[in-house]
Structure 1
Amino acid sequence: MSDLKDELKDAIDEAQWEWLIPHADRDAVIIVSKSLDLVEVGYAIANDQASSVNQWIQDSLLYKPSIEQKIVWDSDQTKRFKALILQPYVLVQELAA
């Protein structure tokens, strides 16, 4: 595994929705499908692997949270996510309740 992948793996943490709201307000939260590996996605973004990233977006595996999702999560701010900060974005995956 590359050094960058190790760094990204070590940078993954859990976050409550409440903590992510300021990032969502600046349109910086990106939802990563549970079918994808968060480290691999972060690595692809960091290394400008546009073809992979564009394919994931096309397949709706990477997307910004919808207004409806934000409303639901706002009502349960203890909702938890795996999170990876990759400036200027915060990549998140929902954790099971």
Structure 2
Amino acid sequence: MSDIKSQLKQELAYVEWRDLIPHAQRDVLIVVEPSLDILEVGDAIAGDQVNIVQSWISQNLIHKPTPDQLSDWNITPERQFSTLIVQPFVLVQFINSSELQ
């Protein structure tokens, strides 16, 4: 595991949507689809691995939240996300409550 990835693993947090709203308002959220490992994505972004990140973007595996997603999340502010800050972005990945146990 890379040093960056080890550091990111320590910074991984579970946060409710209500706490992410200010980041959404600043347009810094990046949604990571469940098929990807949020730590891998964070490591690639932090390590400036442009080709990998571009590939994920082109496959819509990482993207800005859609207006529909934002509306849905605002209805359920207690919804849980895995989050990872990779300046200037906040990576978010929806998690099922069963994954928190």
TM-score calculated relative to the size of structure 1: 0.96
Structure 2 residue aligned with 1:26 = 26
1:9-88 equivalence runs, <5 A:
9-88=9-88
Superposed displacement of residue 63, structure 1: 0.5
Which structure 2 segments of 5+ residues have no match?
none
Superposed displacement of residue 8, structure 1: 0.5
1:10-59 superposed Cα distances (whole Å, 9 cap, x missing partner):
11010100000000011100000111111111011011111000000000
Which structure 1 segments of 5+ residues have no match?
none
Structure 2 letter corresponding to 1:67: P
Counterpart CA distance in 1 for 2:58 and 2:4 is 26
Q: 4+ residue stretches of structure 1 with deviation over 6 A?
A: none
TM-score calculated relative to the size of structure 2: 0.93
Superposed displacement of residue 80, structure 1: 0.5
Q: Secondary structure at the match of 1:92?
A: strand
Q: Give the share of equivalent positions with the same residue, in percent.
A: 45
Counterpart CA distance in 2 for 1:4 and 1:37 is 15
Size of the aligned set, in residue pairs, is 97
Structure 2 residue aligned with 1:94 = 94
Counterpart CA distance in 2 for 1:73 and 1:46 is 27
Counterpart CA distance in 1 for 2:79 and 2:93 is 11
